Amino acid sequence: MIKPLSVLVCAAVLSTVAGVAPAVAQNKPAAQNFGPDVKLQTTAKGPPGDRVVVVGKQINEFIYWVGAQSQVVARDRTSEAPPEILKKPSVGYHRALSAEGVISTNPSVFLTDANVGPPAVMEQLKKVGIPIKVMRVGDSMADSEHLMQEVGQYFGRTQQADAVIATWRKDMARALEASKLWANAPRPKVVLVHFGQAQNIFFGITGGPSNEIIQWAGGDNVLAGRKGAQLTPELMADAQPDIILAHQLAFSRFGSAKAFTQLPGVALTPAGKNLAIYEVNSTNTTYYSPRTPFAILQLPKIFHPDVFKAHPELDAMYDEFSRIKP
């Protein structure tokens, strides 16, 4: 039996529920690597100004949480939360930006998590003098809290960031307490499918916050820790998932669970045979945010429906958490 993670996480998430002192790593570097060759350095000095281009979905969402969205003039295509951000113009896919598209927005600063490209575009932005601000994005709750605080500090909204973190911790405590209700239930084998726009391929998520969120929800990411998880018939035959979760872009390539079984290898898995294939929002499962408590309640409705039937209070909490937004 897999050890429940609630005890491990509560120490980091809830150690200061009453206050908001962050339990985060120190000495966050300003430099970030993109691929093997590119290193971005922060060149921006002073406040962000009111024409910020933000390339990084977690940063973009956190800007809304601290209430600084009016200073953002453009986003990248994958930044989709909260829904209101879709009203902002897009400068393109974060790894396939055009210098002209960014420059045309006349940005006061280019704010990014450094997962950007191509390298030649980044060099062009530097040459024309666009200030670049790099924020560290990590794979832990502590990293995500630190990011929320950094966003708050950068935009002059530290009190708002602290308040968000305090509520976030309380919601996480409640969600993790609820997870004890399915801790001893059989754990389905899960594959989480993402569609890579840059490579035009389907692949399974193998690490990061997705693993922990799936575990909290009472499942096991059967591809966890693997290298190179492009979906192939051989991979699916080996994985044999009970449930397939597909991020919205991956699911939309087919439009239904039945059509999704056309993806090579899927039809012969337990998930394919039972049409246990579900669309999930990528922003709920690829990074931590104040909406993570909702993800912890959302996935068990798929994994453990009998537990929800036996505990009506879970539906009430699910409805409450579904309304969490900036």
Overall average pLDDT of the 297-326 stretch: 96
Q: Say whether pLDDT at 173 is over 50.
A: yes
Mark whether 190 and 313 lie in a shared domain. Answer: yes
**H or E, element range at 99:** helix 99-103
Mark whether 214 and 153 lie in a shared domain. Answer: no
Asked whether the whole model's pTM tops 0.95, one would answer no
In a domain, 259, yes or no: yes
Range of the domain at 35: 6-158
Mark whether 97 and 240 lie in a shared domain. Answer: no
Q: Alpha carbon of 286 to those of 73, 114, 206: distances in Å?
A: 24, 16, 11
The DSSP code sequence of 209-233 is HHHHHHHHTT-EETTTT-S--B--H
- Cα separation, 6 vs 46, whole angstroms: 40
In a domain, 116, yes or no: yes
- Cα separation, 87 vs 75, whole angstroms: 10
Q: pLDDT tens-digit profile of 253-262?
A: 999 999 999 9
Q: What pLDDT is recorded for position 27? A: 35
Q: pLDDT tens-digit profile of 40-66?
A: 889 999 999 999 999 999 999 999 999
Give the chain's domain count: 2
Overall average pLDDT of the 156-172 stretch: 98
In a domain, 172, yes or no: no
- 38-42, 117-121, 229-233, 256-260: range with lowest mean pLDDT: 38-42
Mark whether 258 and 150 lie in a shared domain. Answer: no
Q: What pLDDT is recorded for position 227? A: 80
Residue of 238, 243, 247, 240 lying closest to 205 (CA atoms): 247
Q: What pLDDT is recorded for position 25? A: 33
From 123, 158, 193, the end of a domain falls on 158
Mark whether 10 and 153 lie in a shared domain. Answer: yes
Q: What pLDDT is recorded for position 108? A: 98
Q: Say whether pLDDT at 34 is over 90.
A: no
Q: Coil, strand, or helix at residue 294?
A: helix
Overall average pLDDT of the 167-180 stretch: 98
In a domain, 164, yes or no: no
In a domain, 135, yes or no: yes
